Structures are given as C-alpha cells and as structure tokens.
C-alpha cells in the first residue's frame, strides 16, 4: 500500500525499541477506541474510515449534485486542507483549466483579490445558467473568514435567482450556531462527529462530501485509510516508527521536519500535513500544564522545483532538519521528444521519460543526504490513487497522535489559534 523505508533514518538501533515501548499504552487505548466505534474520545477520528453511515451520507447527498458545474468549498485550516490535498493529488493542480467538471474552488481566507477572482468565475458560470454548489465547512461555525465568505456567496446565489436551500450545503457540528441557522434557513446540513477536530476530519463529511461531489471515489479513500488504521493499531507500526524517528531527531537538535514530495500535485498533501503537525504539536504547555514550548517546524519541499531553491540550504546550511521524502509512481508518463538541435545539451535525457528523470533526481537527492549523513525516511506511493492517498492521510494522522503522546502534549486542541480569533473580533467590533 505504502512502502516505508527507514534505512537512512539514523536512529541508533538500541534507541528505537525504547521509544516504541513508550507508545504501547496509547496504541492499547486506540484499540479500545476502535472497538467502541463512536466519537466520544479525542482519538475517535480513527473510526471514520470504517463508518459506513459517514461515507454513505456524504455520497448520497453528493449524488444530488452530480451535475454540478462547480463547487465552492468555504472552509479554512482543517476544514479545507484535506479536501484540497486529495482533490489536487488525484486530479492535479490544473483541474479547473481542463474541460472536466465540476470545477473546484476554495474560498478560505478573506483576500479581496482572491475571493474577487472566485466571485468573477462563479458569477459568469451563473450567468451561463450553470449549476454552482456552495459547501460551507466549519466545525465551530463561528470563524470570521468563513462566515464572511459564506454571506458573500449565498448573496451571490440569491442575486442570480438561486435558492440557497437547493445550492448550499453546510458541514458543521450538530447544534453549533451555524447548524441552527442553517436549519432555520432550510439548508442541507452534514454533521461533523463530536470529537473529530478539524485537522483530523478529512475522512468525515468535511472531506468526503466535496470530494464525492468532485467525482472522487470516497469509498476507496476510506478503504485505503481503513487498512492503514488497522496496520497502525499493531505494535511497532509504520506511523509509530515514523513518530519515533521524529521524536529521536527532535531531541537531537533537528527542529525542522521537511516533507519533501517529488510530485507537484502532492504539494497540498504536504500542506495538509504541515497544518496537522504544526497545530497539533506546537504547544506552549504539556498536558500537566508545564511550559514546554513543544513543537517541530514542518516545512514542505517539492522535487525537483525546490532543488533550485532550497536544496543548497539543506545541504550546506544548518544541520537542523529531519526529512520525509515522498515519491509516487505515475500511471502515465511522457517521453522527452527528440529535437535534433537540442540532443547534445543534456544527452542523458534523450528518449527518457519525465518520470524516469524525476525518479533519478529523487534518487540522486537521497544519495546526497546519505553521503552528508542527513537523516531521512522515504515513503513511496506505488500509485497515485484513492487508496494510497487515503492510507497516507491515515498514517500521518496517527503519526501525529503518537508524537503528541511522546511529547506529552494535547494533539487535539489549538489554544493559541483561539486567541487570534478573539482579538480579530474585538478589533472588528470597535
Ligand atoms: O484543525 C483545526 O481544528 C483548525 O485548523 C480548524 O479546522 C480551523 O481553525 C477552522 O475551524 P472551523 O472548522 O471551526 O471553522
């Protein structure tokens, strides 16, 4: 499903079992959570991929919008990054420029230029009589940016004679303020299970509904995630081993975790993980309220693009990083066509495929890391598919949960984020 290579992880052999032993109680706990199949525990998101009602509800409602020409996902952070990661990972970043539909737009922040661009495209689609679905996604239902964008897009629909009850779907917590308002307005509502926090919610209606509308087989995503969940409930599983590497190197002065993906279209998957790690583990206090300022700074690099941007620093600069390389096998490849006059410029590439060249670069980079004794692990996706991406998502969510336990921090809250929300609202209310 996923190949995970730790050969160059540079964790001393005798250390790994000790770190993994620390994870036994949390694995035990997670096994118990998996038996209850409900959503009353912080770790409950590990049950989502097995929850047929969760998958079916999202698919059923999505079927109603199977003819949609566009979907606008209004959500931020954990409420849109997972959707974007899967959709771009499978369809590619250029999806909206192809002839395929539905187009997928993400309205997350309150950037007048960016939101203005989406309004422009959506408006012209509405003028052509096209069908545009708005999916408002917010667990709390009170995020300033999201409610601002929701109001703008609902008004846009109504200006064009579209009934919000037909074209707006709200995904939120049962009985949040947004839930109640949506119900009063007769909008369709999908529920986010109680203890499933934003960054662990991609396999709930948060991700599954818009992905199903986009035409992605969400059952397969959950099948990949479910297999991985069961693997990661075993002792010494790959998520635990990955967490153990991060834990060890963080203790040994590697304060940065670089997810280095050799795939342009998997960049958003890297960004999804960046948020997952940063928000879950960047904590001022540990669970006993001791000030620890925990965290490891996650960064995302893309091969081969960043070889011409960041690689010099990675090789020559501070030795403060641990790297997870991610590579993927592609179904389709492109042969470098022959242009006689160019043949002598880089003769090694003649008749080679782009994927082959990219693989050679990835191998070359890992070789350089090895030579420089820079620690890394390597995740290989044998295909760009729903199953492998589902498995990757689940593995990483469990890796972060394990790291939370190793660092003794609450991986499920985000107290600092709450502070900016309060400040912003205070300023706006002046
Ligand atoms: O992961 C998280 O919990 C956060 O990133 C939230 O998803 C983000 O702050 C958006 O919050 P909400 O879903 O309440 O709109």
**Ligand 1 pocket member 271 (CB < 6 A):** no
77 within ligand 1 shell (Cβ under 6 A):
yes
The H-or-E segment that residue 133 falls in is strand 132-137
For 328, the 3-state DSSP assignment is strand
Hey, how many other C-beta atoms are within 10 angstroms of the C-beta on 360? 14
Helix (H, G, I), strand (E, B) or coil at 20: helix
Answer whether 404 contacts ligand 1 (Cβ < 6 A).
no
Helix, strand or coil for residue 339? Answer: coil
Res 325: pLDDT:
98
Instruction: Kindly state if the Cβ of 279 falls inside 6 Å of ligand 1.
Output: yes
> Would the CA dihedral through 175, 200, 49, 169 be positive or negative?
positive
C-alpha closest to that of 265 among 399, 385, 133: 385
* DSSP per-residue string spanning 74-108: E--GGGTHHHHHHHHHHH-TTGGGSS-S-EEEEE-
**CA 124 – CA 130 distance, rounded (Å):** 9
> For residue 430, what pLDDT is reported?
84
Q: Which two tokens stand for residue 211?
A: 């992905």
Strands of 365-419, DSSP E: 376-381
Q: Which atom of ligand 1 is nearest to the CA of 197?
A: 3
- Phi and psi, residue 236, nearest 5°: 55, 40
| Nearest residue (CA) to ligand 1, atom 3 | 198
Q: How far is ligand 1, taken at its centre, from the CA of residue 78, in Å?
A: 5
Atom of ligand 1 nearest to the CA of 78: 7
Per-residue pLDDT tens listing for the chain (430 residues) = 899 999 999 999 999 999 999 999 999 999 999 998 889 999 999 999 999 999 999 999 999 999 999 999 999 999 999 999 999 999 999 999 999 999 999 999 999 999 999 999 999 999 999 999 999 999 999 999 999 999 999 999 999 999 999 999 999 999 999 999 999 999 999 999 999 999 999 999 999 999 999 999 999 999 999 999 999 999 999 999 999 999 999 999 999 999 999 999 999 999 999 999 999 999 999 999 999 999 999 999 999 999 999 999 999 999 999 999 999 999 999 999 999 999 999 999 999 999 999 999 999 999 999 999 999 999 999 999 999 999 999 999 999 999 999 999 999 999 998 888 888 989 998 8
Query: 76 and 106 in contact (C-beta within 8 Å)?
Result: no
Q: Is the dihedral of CA 143, 278, 423, 288 positive or negative?
A: positive
Alpha-carbon span 303 to 361, nearest angstrom: 8
User: What DSSP element (H or E) covers 171?
Assistant: strand 168-173
Distance of CA 199 from the midpoint of ligand 1 (Å): 7
If one counts every other C-beta atom within 10 angstroms of the C-beta of residue 163, the result is 10
Does the beta carbon of 138 lie inside 6 Å of ligand 1?
A: yes
Give, for 190, the enclosing helix (H) or strand (E): strand 188-192
Q: Are 49 and 229 in contact (CB under 8 A)?
A: yes
pLDDT of residue 6: 98
CA-nearest residue, atom 15 of ligand 1: 138
Distance in Å, CA 365 to ligand 1 centroid: 35
The residue among 333, 326, 324, 331 whose CA lies nearest residue 383 is: 331
Q: For residue 146, what pLDDT is reported?
A: 97
Task: Please give the pLDDT value at position 1.
Answer: 87
Ligand 1 centroid – CA 266 distance (Å): 22
**DSSP 3-state assignment of 34?**
helix
3-28+226-410: CATH number: 3.40.50.10490
pLDDT of residue 425: 87
**Pocket flag, ligand 1, residue 82 (CB < 6 Å):** no
Please work out whether the CB of residue 396 comes within 6 Å of at least one atom of ligand 1.
Answer: no
Instruction: State the closest ligand 1 atom to the C-alpha of 172, by its place in the atom list counted from 1.
Output: 13
For residues 379 and 301, give the distance between their C-alpha atoms in angstroms, rounded to a whole number. Answer: 14
Give the 3-state secondary structure of residue 376: strand
Which residue in this structure is represented by tokens 């030795």? 319
Give, for ligand 1, the residue of 85, 108, 143, 421 to mutate: max count of ligand atoms closer than 8 Å to Cβ: 143
Residue 91 exposed, middle or buried by CB count within 10 Å (0-12, 13-18, 19+):
middle
Task: Give me the pLDDT at residue 418, please.
Answer: 84
Q: How far is CA 143 from CA 24, 30, 312, 327, in A?
A: 37, 30, 39, 35
Q: Where are the domains of the chain?
A: 3-28+226-410, 37-216
**CATH fourth-level superfamily of 37-216:** Glucose-6-phosphate isomerase like protein; domain 1 (3.40.50.10490)
Q: Does ligand 1 come within 6 angstroms of the Cβ of 102?
A: no
CA of 125 to the centre of ligand 1 (A): 29
Cα–Cα separations (whole angstroms), residue 239 to 36, 276, 312: 22, 14, 30
Decide if 3-28+226-410 and 37-216 have a common fold: yes
Which tens digits make up the pLDDT trace of 8-57? Answer: 999 999 999 999 999 999 999 999 999 988 899 999 999 999 999 999 99
Write out the E strands in 195-346: 256-261, 297-302, 321-328
Q: What is the pLDDT of residue 204?
A: 98
pLDDT for 266-324, tens place per residue? 999 999 999 999 999 999 999 999 999 999 999 999 999 999 999 999 999 999 999 99
And the tokens for 419? 């502070």
* Distance of CA 143 from the midpoint of ligand 1 (Å): 8
Residue nearest to atom 2 of ligand 1 (CA): 198
């Amino acid at each position: 499903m996923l190949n995970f290579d730790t050969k160059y992880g540079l964790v001393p052999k005798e250390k790994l079992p000790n770190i993994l032993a620390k994870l036994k109680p949390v694995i035990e706990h997670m096994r118990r959570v998996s038996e209850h199949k409900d959503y009353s525990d912080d770790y409950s998101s590990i049950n989502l991929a097995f929850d047929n009602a969760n998958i079916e509800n999202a698919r059923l409602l999505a079927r109603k919008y199977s003819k949609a020409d566009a979907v606008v996902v209004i959500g931020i952070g954990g409420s849109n990054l997972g959707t974007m990661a899967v959709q771009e990972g499978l369809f590619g970043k250029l999806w909206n420029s192809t002839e395929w539909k539905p187009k997928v737009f993400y309205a997350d922040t309150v950037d007048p230029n960016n939101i203005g661009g989406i309004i422009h495209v959506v408006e012209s689609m509405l003028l052509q009589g096209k069908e545009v679905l708005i999916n408002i996604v917010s667990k709390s239902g009170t995020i300033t940016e999201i409610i601002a964008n929701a109001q703008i897009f609902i008004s846009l629909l109504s200006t064009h004679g579209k009934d919000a009850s037909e074209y707006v779907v709200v995904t939120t917590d049962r009985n949040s303020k947004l839930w109640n308002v949506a119900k009063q307005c007769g909008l369709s509502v999908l529920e986010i299970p109680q203890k499933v926090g934003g960054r662990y919610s991609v396999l709930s209606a948060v991700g599954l509904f818009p992905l199903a509308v986009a035409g992605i087989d969400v059952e397969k995503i959950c099948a990949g995630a479910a297999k991985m969940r069961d693997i990661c409930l075993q002792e010494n599983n790959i998520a635990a081993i990955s967490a153990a590497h991060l834990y060890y190197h963080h203790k040994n002065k590697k304060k940065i975790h670089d997810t280095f993906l050799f795939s342009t279209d998997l960049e958003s998957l890297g960004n999804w993980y960046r948020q997952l790690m940063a928000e879950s583990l960047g904590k001022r206090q540990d669970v006993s309220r001791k000030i620890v300022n925990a965290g490891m700074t996650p960064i995302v690099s893309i091969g081969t693009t960043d070889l011409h941007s960041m690689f010099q620093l990675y090789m020559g600069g501070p030795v403060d990083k641990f790297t997870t390389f991610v590579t993927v096998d592609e179904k389709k490849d492109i042969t470098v066509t022959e242009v006689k006059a160019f043949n002598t410029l880089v003769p090694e590439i003649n008749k080679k495929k782009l994927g082959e060249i990219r693989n050679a670069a990835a191998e070359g980079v890992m070789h350089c890391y090895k030579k420089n004794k820079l620690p890394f692990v390597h995740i290989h996706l044998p295909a760009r598919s729903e199953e492998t991406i589902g498995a990757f998502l689940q593995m990483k969510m469990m890796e972060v949960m394990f790291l939370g336990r190793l660092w003794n921090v609450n991986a499920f809250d985000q107290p600092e984020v709450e502070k900016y929300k309060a400040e912003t609202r205070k300023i706006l209310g002046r």
